[in-house]
Chain A
Amino acid sequence: GAGVSQSPSNKVTEKGKDVELRCDPISGHTALYWYRQSLGQGLEFLIYFQGNSAPDKSGLPSDRFSAERTGGSVSTLTIQRTQQEDSAVYLCASSRGGLAGDNVRHEQFFGPGTRLTVL
């Protein structure tokens, strides 16, 4: 079946503009994660959605970042008023079960990422 897909694959934007990044998880996966990877900060967790529970936003670096997951499926990560330090690869992953699920259901599948460049 199809894996996790992300769009766009590349996004170049000007400082101050808003951007939306999209993640389509594997069908039936209840958990969805956003991470980012940058040269300066390494790998960072951003946000975690599990079913209908309130998302864990503990990793969002500022209030310019927000994410939604509509209908328990597609997720959109929005960055408002982008800054140059937002430049990174944004990664999405999904799993059948959440963090507290058994090991098999927890296996995370990653998308190819969106490379964001803020000029």
Chain B
Amino acid sequence: AQKVTQAQTEISVVEKEDVTLDCVYETRDTTYYLFWYKQPPSGELVFLIRRNSFDEQNEISGRYSWNFQKSTSSFNFTITASQVVDSAVYFCALSNYGQNFVFGPGTRLSVLP
């Protein structure tokens, strides 16, 4: 069975600090996709990234970066120089072509001014 673990339930940082959100997944499939989503206090989900299992290159988008390591089944998300607007719940998810699409429980990030 597929499973996603986000061990950090809540994280608080002060603005401008870097923060890493952990995501560990379990799957027996060789082909799969990993995702990160953001849910700000307004409630609307925002898609951040999809990574397929054959692409282990790290991804950087502005202050956001993702570290995918198949050896440890992890897909961690780092926010550099955090801002108050980064405060949200962040979800990691795992899917194989839509089947067995599983979300982690989410990590609530609070960035304090």
Q: Which residues of A contact B (CB under 8 A)?
A: 33, 35, 42-45, 48, 50, 56, 58-59, 89, 91, 93, 98-100, 103, 106-113
Give the complex CA separation of A76 and B47 in angstroms: 22
Q: Which residues of B contact A (CB under 8 A)?
A: 33, 43-47, 49-50, 91, 93, 95, 97-103, 105-106
Q: Which chain B residues border A48 with CB–CB below 8 Å?
A: 98, 101
Smallest CB gap from B105: residue in A: A42
Q: Which chain B residues border A113 with CB–CB below 8 Å?
A: 43-44
Q: Which chain A residues border B44 with CB–CB below 8 Å?
A: 110-113
Give the complex CA separation of A112 and B47 in angstroms: 13
Q: A45-B95, A56-B98, A99-B98 are in contact. Are A108 and B103 (CB under 8 A)?
A: no
The 8 Å CB contact of B100, one of A33, A58, A91, A109, is: A58
Closest 4 CB pairs of A and B: A45-B101, A48-B98, A43-B103, A108-B47
Given contacts A45-B103, A48-B98, A99-B97, 6 further A-B contacts (CB under 8 A): A33-B98, A35-B45, A43-B103, A99-B33, A106-B50, A113-B44
Give the complex CA separation of A33 and B33 in angstroms: 15
Interface CB pairs A-B, < 8 A, 7? A42-B106, A45-B95, A45-B101, A99-B95, A103-B50, A108-B47, A110-B44
Give the complex CA separation of A44 and B105 in angstroms: 10
Smallest CB gap from B35: residue in A: A108
Q: A99-B33, A100-B97, A103-B50 are in contact. Are A45 and B43 (CB under 8 A)?
A: no
Q: Which chain B residues border A59 with CB–CB below 8 Å?
A: 101
Q: Which chain A residues border B97 with CB–CB below 8 Å?
A: 56, 99-100
Give the complex CA separation of A9 and B49 in angstroms: 27
Contact A44 B95 (CB under 8 A): no
Give the complex CA separation of A108 and B101 in angstroms: 14
Q: Which chain B residues border A35 with CB–CB below 8 Å?
A: 45
